[in-house]
Amino acid sequence: MTESHKKFSVVTIFPDMIQSYLACSILKRAIEKGIITVDVHNLRDYSTDKHKTVDDYPYGGGPGMVMKPEPFYRVMECVWPVKETRRVIMLSPRGRVFSQDVALELSKDDREMVFLCGRYEAIDERVREYLIDDEISIGDYVLTGGELPALVIIDAVSRLLPGVLGDDQSAEDESFSKGLLDYPHYTRPEDFRGMRVPKVLLSGNHEDIRKWRKQQSLKATLQKRPELLKTYTLSNEEIILFEQIKEELS
């Protein structure tokens, strides 16, 4: 059994936002099991003035405030003085867009992962220039800060680490990163307010069930996310099932 441990750290002016999510559910379990560690550092603790200022007016004018460089440089120098053992990730709307592929890449990096969360309009450019190794956005919508994105990334990366999920859960991952949507799921009761579970799922015929699920996956993908099919290579069986679906829908 190979021992793997991943360390995440988050620098933020809202440490409670991070702590409250980590206190719940699967990530809490992963921390208790010793598979991951998440350290949270309050950026304000690294401010030098008596008012613990972390932001200031933008040079050149314009709306909003800019986060000062000094507290970020000080926290890096105090906590992670050695560049080689850390991967500093800035959460920013200007970053490369997060995806399952990026999650996989991060899960394979043995360095400690340090997330810098911004608030206000922006972070001083000199933080980006000298402190960071990577800049990531979680998608094209506007949030109020980098804390949720940091949690999204920690969540997605953690569940890829051995031991975080149960064995039965981990295997299915591949189908998503390979690009088909999930098939419909049902549990008891068989008849819920007149809505019945599809007969095939009650048949006990595993081959029929497998085919039905594959067909449902293809159908959902074609209807909701047709662009995923451009990069997905259909097997011979899938080609036949796919033809049937298109006929059905026409």
* Residues found near ligand 9D3 in the complex (CB under 6 A): 91-93, 118, 121-122, 137-139, 141-146, 149
Place of tokens 């007016």: 57
Taking the least distance from each CB to ligand 9D3, the nearer of 9 and 217 is 9
Count CB neighbours of 25 within 10 A.
Answer: 10
Give Cα separations from 245 to 192, 224, 240 (angstroms).
27, 14, 9
Least Cβ distance, residue 93 to ligand 9D3 (angstroms): 4
Nearest Cα to 96, choosing from 128, 126, 138, 127?
Answer: 138
Taking the least distance from each CB to ligand 9D3, the nearer of 14 and 212 is 14
* Identity at 124, one-letter amino acid code: D
Taking the least distance from each CB to ligand 9D3, the nearer of 69 and 118 is 118
Q: Is 11:5 a contact under the CB 8 Å cutoff?
A: no
Nearest Cα to 10, choosing from 134, 148, 124, 120?
Answer: 148
* Identity at 115, one-letter amino acid code: F
Least Cβ distance, residue 232 to ligand 9D3 (angstroms): 26
Q: Encoding tokens for residue 158? A: 């953690």
Taking the least distance from each CB to ligand 9D3, the nearer of 145 and 163 is 145
Measure the CA–CA gap between 6 and 107, rounded to whole angstroms: 8
Least Cβ distance, residue 77 to ligand 9D3 (angstroms): 23
Least Cβ distance, residue 116 to ligand 9D3 (angstroms): 10
Least Cβ distance, residue 155 to ligand 9D3 (angstroms): 14
Taking the least distance from each CB to ligand 9D3, the nearer of 145 and 179 is 145
